[in-house]
Amino acid sequence: MTKKSTEKPLLKEGNDTFVFTKKNYQIMIVGLLVIFLGYFLMTGGNGDDPTKYYPEIFDFRRLTLAPILILVGLVIEIFAIFYKDNN
């Protein structure tokens, strides 16, 4: 004799539920935009002559602001994954 399984299947036939809602995707897009902004702020600072020193590559925007924005974007992405709508 076999035992009847009392576990519920994760997806039933005809159950069209998605893991993420529209709100999750909107938050994910915001997170991606913040990450792209961080990478964009990190670019530049080089000159035409590679033998000369250009101090603008070590400014606040490239060394501090851009990495902080990238980390904030990653936190937003994690939040978007775990966000559960109350509806």
Which residue has better confidence, 8 or 54?
54
Residue 74 amino acid letter: L
Distance CA 32, CA 74 (A): 8
Max Cα distance, the chain (Å): 82
Give residue-wise pLDDT tens across range 21-72.
999 999 999 999 999 999 999 998 777 887 888 888 889 999 999 999 999 9
The pLDDT of residue 83: 94
* Cα 86–chain centre separation: 22
